[in-house]
Structure 1
């Protein structure tokens, strides 16, 4: 810096501003390779962070699914399991499935009809219970919500055996009550042999186990609706039914969409409740659904290729429902 006395009339601040900036002492260091890959602007950063989870999903889900598809293209039985050999036959298993009238007259009607009945009853009952809980005080709402969640917490196996005992032909609660009033003869009545009564019991079982999820989910949505909307509608003379369809249903449309699609996915792949009931494990072919039919073909008859093809068919149906579910979620987010 020049001497202050060497520039006439210059102040110390002016000389300081005129002084050139000192040269940088060192050049900036280059980023390391790992820092560049994990930088905030790196396109690889999200994939590197997701890599462990994707690897686990690939091992636990993707590879078994690929293996099932490969087996479905083979005539795969006990001999192939023992020898490890492949016996590819193309799409012959799928042709045999779609050409079998048993699929169209028994399995698909059972699967689709049962799922539709369960979904409708589960959503309706869950919504009714949610409306009831919404009208309770905080204390009783907590008590009743905890009570209905017991049905959700009970394992499917335990719940199925309870319903089997209730409808037991000889010693069940229903048979005993109806016998006492002279409506049936327990010695000649078996609720599990007829296709309609079998699935009626299974529907009661699934709805009883599934409605708490719908009730608590819809209740959470009901608690977000401003009370002023219903109060204004009441002042205008709207009935409770009218208020539900004009206020509650439109606001809770995303909630109803989610619980309906999730219930559809769960009810299409019901296996335990059907298989454990008398006749559902292969003794009564009239009550097979896709899940049970796939299991019986694979593990009871040793036709693993055929069973895998049925499992792939069920998976494709569930994937289609899942696509609808995801599209619904994305549409609701856009709104």
Structure 2
């Protein structure tokens, strides 16, 4: 009875978890094994075709040349930028007085509280080809003669999306890392200073190992969030499918499902996206666990 008591206590939460997460995930997997379109929705019939959708996705040049490259490249760059900026802000806040820490923390959290849709439209307005702040400023400074549409180029498109995501995500990293920094023993830092270690050396040799688990959490969560970015890409000009060069896996799945009414094919893309994300997360966690055992 003692061994089963924890599971009995967890049963209600596990049932809710299964109903909200596992069942929808299972349904997506089932859809990915079917040629599921408007006819199947109307009739309620199933049309299983095995792994044909997965084979089509893997053979599609759009996956290897565009969607996967955009997804992986964007996630890597944005995660690094988010963690670095958030950590720098956390270090700044840790050196402030309690009053100013509250003021800066409140200002920082405003960016995190802003809905992704609202933030995206703000960045679209800033880089708008006609009346955007960036174009108007560059032309006023004489750096450009005519306005530039920043959303047509693949690199500039994702540069804007990256600014949007980093601006929205770094407050979480800053607040989380700040909590870890405030828990680092000051005696250890003072001992390092007496041994001649400078601020940078103390941070990487003493602080980072002490709050490694904090960095693990923020990196894994940032990877998950940035890997499956949707609104920040879909709502930008061309991001909804009219510009195929800027599609990532999440938007490509949506466009194929609800734009082309190929729900089975779109579900297969979504399952592959989930599988790649899980694989990256598992590899990263296993790498950290091996380092801890050394």
Q: TM-score surpassing 0.5?
A: yes
Matched with 2:240 is 281
Tell me if the contact between 1:167 and 1:191 (Cα under 8 Å) persists in the aligned partners. yes
SS state of the match for residue 214, structure 1? helix
Corresponding position of 1:85: 45
Normalised by the length of structure 2, the TM-score is 0.94
Aligned to 2:260: 301
Question: Could you list the per-position Cα deviations for residues 207-266 of structure 1 after superposition, in whole angstroms to 9, with x for gaps in the alignment?
Answer: 001101111111111111122222233333322222212211221222112111110011
Q: Provide the residue aligned with 1:214 in structure 2.
A: 173
**Whose helix fraction is larger, Structure 1's or Structure 2's?**
2
Are 2:33 and 1:73 equivalent residues in the alignment? yes
**Equivalenced residues, count:** 294
Counterpart in the other structure of 2:67: 107
Q: Is residue 203 of structure 2 the alignment partner of residue 247 of structure 1?
A: no
Q: Does 1 or 2 have the higher relative contact order (CA < 8 Å, sep 6+)?
A: 2
Aligned equivalent of 1:183: 143
Shift of 1:319: 2.5
Residue 173 (str. 1) matches residue 133 (str. 2): yes
Deviations 1:127-159 (A, max 9, x none): 111111111111111111111011111111111
Greater than 4 Å deviation, 4+ residue runs: 324-335
Query: What residue number does 1:192 align with?
Result: 151
Bigger radius of gyration: 1
Structure 1 portions without partners, runs of 5+? 1-40
Could you tell me which runs of 5 or more consecutive residues in structure 2 were left unpaired when the two chains were aligned: none
TM-score with structure 1 setting the length: 0.83
Check 1:146–1:324 CA distance in 2 against 1; reply closer, same or farther (3 A cut). Answer: farther
Q: Distance in 2 between matches of 1:59 and 1:246?
A: 45
The range that moved more, 175-184 or 295-304, is: 175-184
Alignment-derived partner of residue 269 in structure 1: 228
CA contact (8 A) 1:129 1:215 kept: yes
Aligned to 2:107: 147
Q: How far, CA to CA, are the matches of 1:332 and 1:224 in structure 2?
A: 22
Post-superposition offset of 1:327: 5.4
Distance 2:202 2:293 in 1: 26
**Structure-1 residue corresponding to 2:120:** 160
- 142 and 276 in structure 1: CA distance in 2 versus 1, 3 angstrom threshold: same
> Counterparts of 1:118-133 in structure 2 under 5 Å?
118-133=78-93
In 2: Cα distance, 1:138 partner to 1:156 partner = 30
- What is the CA–CA distance in structure 2 between the aligned matches of 1:262 and 1:325, rounded to whole Å? 12
Superposition CA RMSD, Å: 2.1
* Structure 1 counterpart of 2:189: 230
Partner SS, residue 204 of structure 1: helix
Give the corresponding residue for 1:6.
none
Alpha-carbon displacement from aligned partner over 1:180-209 (angstroms, at most 9, x marks no partner):
01212344x100000000000000000001
